[in-house]
Every structure is written in structure tokens, then in C-alpha cells.
Amino acid sequence: MTEFTATEMMTIAAARALGNDDVCFVGIGAPSAACNVARLTHAPDITLIYESGTIGTAPDVLPLSIGDGELCETAVTTVAVPEMFRYWLQGGRISIGFLGAAQLDRFGNINTTVIGDYHHPKVRLPGGGGAPEIATSCGEIYITLKQAKRSMVEKIDFFTSYGHGNGHDDRQKLGITTKGPTLLITDLAIWKPDPVTKEFTVVSMHKGVTRAMVQETCGWTVKFADDVAETPEPTELELTTLRDLQARTAAAHGGTKEKANA
């Protein structure tokens, strides 16, 4: 079996969660990599939508941002951003929202705004963009994140994107009818919310990962399912697809000879 990194395992595990019939609102970075690996392997008919208004895009390389021309050039169509949010997103036409996070708590609430006090932050982050609307209007939310105590925290410093609040039926109390975060894929494990409390619970750990490793990189007391599975290793096809995609991306964005000859 070919060796693979923890980040490759995370990306491929996230890709596997997507289906051929999904309409997916894609975040930049790890979510974009996962969604495009799914499109290039087991889900060729998946519809990928980016915040800039590109629908059914099929990029050959990963975009640098939502404004990357690669997205528009390969899309079935491109609509105005207000139409994207009002008709497509808030109209309930998108099944999966794929998000990342700077900070995440046990109930899937996301912070991408500030670290520290809002008025005197230690770090000013890029902000939410469309993520707050994605978190409440997509049918369900998948989250990808590398585990670290600074990112998986007991209490986030700012509520950018609403997950399950304080758990239980907090979303329903606010009149939010979508499912919210249903899956968290990290570089160590796969997590799903408890059906009642909505607290993320480890259901699968990647090869070589121990419970101690998961706990050491998480800022809250981790809950494990009664039967924790081992995440299947990446296949040769999955690894080759991901690595080829990343190589094309590096060549395209790095101004190398490969780009000139493309």
C-alpha cells in the first residue's frame, strides 16, 4: 500500500462523504480539494457551486479564491451573487455545504472572524463571507479541520457560522429547519453529532491514530462511539487523483514550465 499523509487521508475521507446526486456549496482550501477529488473519482455528476456564482464548475486545478477565473471558465453557468444566495442557497436547492474553520467547538459552531476579544483581537481573520448563510441554509454541513487545541476549543471566541448552538434542539428553537453540521472530518478521525445532544462524537479513527492522540489535539473532553471503526485507507485511484490535482494546481499557480506548456 502506498504511503499517505494525514492531510491526504482527511481530504479523501471527506471526498468519500459526497455522492453523485449532491449539489455542494464548496469552500476554498481543503473543502475544494475534497469536492473535486469526489468529482474526479466516484461522483462525476456532482454539482459543485462556489460562492462567486459558478454552478456546475469542473476546474482542472484548485482555485486560489472564489474569484478564480478557472471556476467561471469551467462552469455550466455563472449567476449573480445575489441570485446565488437568494434563489439557490436560501431557496433550499443546495444539499451539502462544505466548510472549514479557524475555531470550532463541540457543537459545530464556527469562528472565522477573530481570535481573542472582538474589539482588541489577537488575530483578525478573513471573516465569514457567505459561510453564515451556508451554515443555516444548506441541507447539511460537512466540516474539514486539522486537529489542534487552538482550533478545536471549548468555547469559540466569535460565532461566525451557527452549528448546533449549545446542543439539543437549539437550531429548531431559532426556526432553522436544516440539519446543520452532520459530519466533521479531521486529519485524525471522523466525527458525527450525537443524535440527541448534537455533540460531535468520534465514530472512526484513521490508521495508526489512538484515542490519546485525538484527545491531545482537542480542547474539549472527547466522546467516542461505542464501536469506533478504522477509516479505510486511501485507494491508489484516490491518492493518484488527489496528487495529480495538487501537482497541476502547483504548476498553474507557480508559473512553472508545466503551466507554459499546458
pLDDT 10s digits, 124-179: 998 998 899 999 999 999 999 999 999 999 999 999 999 999 999 999 999 999 99
Strand pairing report for 189-193 and 181-186? antiparallel
Which three-class secondary structure state does DSSP give residue 142? strand
For residue 260, is pLDDT > 60?
A: no
Could you report the per-residue pLDDT of 2-30, keeping only the tens digit for each?
Answer: 799 999 999 999 999 999 999 999 988 88
Residue 217 lies inside a defined structural domain of this protein: no
Provide the domain count of the chain.
1
How many C-beta neighbours within 10 Å does residue 87 have?
A: 12
Whether residue 36 is contained in a domain is answered as yes
Residue 119 lies in a domain: yes
Whether the model clears a pTM of 0.85, i.e. scores above it, the answer is yes
103 within a domain of the structure (yes/no): yes
pLDDT of amino acid 253: 87
129: Cα separation from own chain's centroid = 15
Catalytic residue among 3, 8, 51, 236: 51
Are 61 and 51 in contact, with CB atoms under 8 Å apart?
Answer: no
Q: For residue 255, what pLDDT is reported? A: 58
Secondary structure of residue 246 in the 3-state scheme: helix
End-to-end CA distance of the chain: 31
pLDDT at 256 over 70: no
Whole-angstrom CA distances from 212 to 108, 150, 188, 231 are 21, 17, 11, 17
Within a domain: 113: yes
Residues sharing a CB contact under 8 Å with residue 123, sequence separation 6 or more, in sequence order: 114, 115, 116
- Here the cell at position 203 is 465514530
Domain of residue 244, CATH code: 3.40.1080.10
Is position 216 annotated as part of the catalytic site?
no
Asked whether residue 227 is domain-assigned, the answer is no
Could you report the per-residue pLDDT of 120-131, keeping only the tens digit for each?
Answer: 999 999 899 889
Task: Name, in order, each residue with C-beta under 8 angstroms of 78's C-beta and a sequence gap of 6 or more.
Answer: 52, 53, 54, 55, 72
The whole-number pLDDT of residue 91 equals 95
Q: Which domain holds residue 110?
A: 6-187+235-251
**pLDDT score of 257 more than 80:** no
